[in-house]
Amino acid sequence: MTYTPTEAASVLKCSPDHVRALCASGRLAAVNVGLGPRRAKWVISQAAIDAFLSPAISKSETRRPRRSAQRKWI
């Protein structure tokens, strides 16, 4: 199933302009079927909406472990 920005806005409970901004920034996966970036017409899949709504990986899980506070001086 695919959605227009207006339909996706009702699912996400936000404005259609916000959905278009999310699509343009890449935070919400969508396909531009319009005439380029100036006349964009976005199509958003159900899978993209589900991925956007799923809980993201926390920053602490993606960070590298810190070096120990104790430094070794030679």
25 inside domain: yes
37 inside domain: yes
pLDDT digits (tens, 9 = 90+) for 22-49: 999 999 999 999 887 778 899 999 999 9
Q: Over 60: is that where the pLDDT of 58 sits?
A: no
Q: Which domain holds residue 9?
A: 2-55
72 inside domain: no
- Cα–Cα nearest to 51, from 32, 31, 29: 29
* Percent of the chain surpassing pLDDT 70: 74
C-beta of residue 26 within 8 angstroms of C-beta of residue 71? no
In three-state secondary structure terms, 44 is: strand
30 inside domain: yes
Grade residue 68 by pLDDT with cuts at 50, 70 and 90.
low
Average pLDDT for 11-28: 94
71 inside domain: no
- How many structural domains does the chain have? 1
Q: What pLDDT sits at residue 72? A: 62
